[in-house]
A and B are shown apart, each in its own frame.
Chain A
Amino acid sequence: MCLAIPMVLKERSEMEGVVELDGIRRTISLMLLPDAEVGEHVLIHAGYAIGSVNAEEAAQTLELLREYADNMVDL
């Protein structure tokens, strides 16, 4: 029930921001994520930023998946 997508916060004012993904931009509200920082990846749902992406956790997840992939190649 939750189509939400990570986009980069490119600019912000007090309550609004501009996010971008692959060259597509939208003005969104930061009311739910007032401390979002420019340059962060934020999750966008229905025109609002609802959470931010933890880069370290993301990297760990991707590393785990690369291990799964590598193990398959070794077979």
Chain B
Amino acid sequence: MKKKTPERLLLAHGSGGRLTHELVTGTFLPFLENPILSSLSDAAILPELPPGRPALTTDGFVVDPPVFAGGDLGYLSVCGTVNDLAVAGARPLWLTWALILEEGADGDLISTCAEGTARAAAEAGIQIVAGDTKVVPRGKGDRIYAVTAGLGVVPPGREISDTRIENGDVVIASGPLGDHGATIMATRHGLDTGELKSDCAPVSGLIESVFEAGIDIHSMHDPTRGGVLTVCNEVADRSGKRIVLTETSIPVRPQVRAVCEILGLEILGLACEGRVLSWVPGDQAERALEAFQKHPAGRDAAIFARVEGSIDGEVPVVMETEVGSTRPLDMLSGTDLPRIC
């Protein structure tokens, strides 16, 4: 299919007429082509679902800058949606992709995002089956926003839930934490990130390989906005059980530490877009860690926390520090901002 991308987005590209058709066929379909999407019908008619319980998720993507080291808004939009399904225990199958574009947005940016979307879809083994494009007047958007829905299936016999978490469970991080958040914040504030890039990636393949190894995962979450701090506090609240982190076991790259030290950010509050935190039974800890580490996306997986006791009357999430003390870990109160103090 011939690729043809406008130099700048016009309002007319969203009005449903010839320009919209050209945009879809010239910019999106060349990357995203598949039989369901290419039929361009009003609704995607899907094949029958595999056995199990259907899982449905939705997500919005507004990342700034829309292109960053290690990804772009398009790539991120697929990974984020796929990962939401995967950490719920579902096998992701089909995604929808709706765009809100800003009048005047650079056509190459849109094309880059479309390519990123296609790349992520191929990596995750899913199809984009429905899409939509709107263009808002200049100033009413921020170049490109994406909204997705993702459909998957939880195979029979699989149950992923915070209510399954038990005392003695350990928490495994699938890789070094905070790469995405650190990359974004560094880029926004004039730091040259060198080799550091976003960890944005689909984790569905990794998770399936751990299930295949026979590990009984109790619960999983992807630490996106608010990072590990938010996930752990929410999980402690929902499961009713305390989580104890071990500072020296938390996997973090030196570059991420450096970004946090320079800007004054909390490492554990940074977003990841290609990591999963998994709660597994204590007696499967070593086997589970091995299973993660065997997969290329889980090479640097590490056990960094344990579940211990009830939250009643206690601080729900604490960390055993490097220097030998124990301190509470709260969620961030707002967005973590660069500080001088």
A73 at interface by CB-CB < 8 Å: no
B257 touches A22 (CB 8 A): yes
Interface size on A, residues (CB 8 A): 16
Q: Complex: how many Å from CA A26 to CA B264?
A: 15
A62 at interface by CB-CB < 8 Å: no
B194 touches A23 (CB 8 A): yes
B339 touches A3 (CB 8 A): yes
Q: What class of interface size applies to chain B in its complex with A?
A: 10 to 19
A23 touches B340 (CB 8 A): no
Shortest distance from the beta carbon of A36 to any chain B beta carbon, whole Å:
17
B255 touches A23 (CB 8 A): yes
- A47 surroundings in chain B (CB, below 8 A): 190
A3 touches B264 (CB 8 A): yes
Once A24-B194, A25-B194, A26-B190 are accepted as A-B contacts, the answer to whether A5 and B262 lie under 8 Å apart by CB is yes
A24 touches B340 (CB 8 A): no
B341 touches A24 (CB 8 A): no
Tell me the number of A-to-B contacts counted with CB atoms below 8 Å. 47
A1 touches B192 (CB 8 A): no
- B331 surroundings in chain A (CB, below 8 A): none
Interface residues of A in 12-34 (CB under 8 A from B): 21-27
- B237 surroundings in chain A (CB, below 8 A): none
- A24 surroundings in chain B (CB, below 8 A): 186, 191-194, 196, 255, 258-259, 262
- Chain B residues proximal to chain A, CB less than 8 Å: 186, 190-196, 254-255, 257-259, 261-262, 264, 339-341
Q: Which 8 residue pairs across A and B have the least CB separation, nearest first?
A: A22-B254, A23-B194, A25-B192, A22-B258, A21-B258, A24-B258, A1-B341, A3-B264
30 contacts between A and B (CB under 8 A): A2-B340, A2-B341, A3-B264, A3-B339, A3-B340, A3-B341, A5-B261, A5-B262, A22-B254, A22-B257, A23-B193, A23-B194, A23-B195, A23-B196, A23-B254, A23-B255, A23-B258, A24-B186, A24-B191, A24-B192, A24-B193, A24-B194, A24-B258, A24-B259, A25-B192, A25-B194, A26-B191, A26-B192, A27-B190, A47-B190
- Chain A residues proximal to chain B, CB less than 8 Å: 1-3, 5, 7, 21-27, 44-47
Beyond A23-B195, A24-B262, A25-B194, list 6 extra A-B contacts (CB 8 Å).
Answer: A1-B340, A3-B264, A23-B194, A24-B191, A24-B258, A26-B192
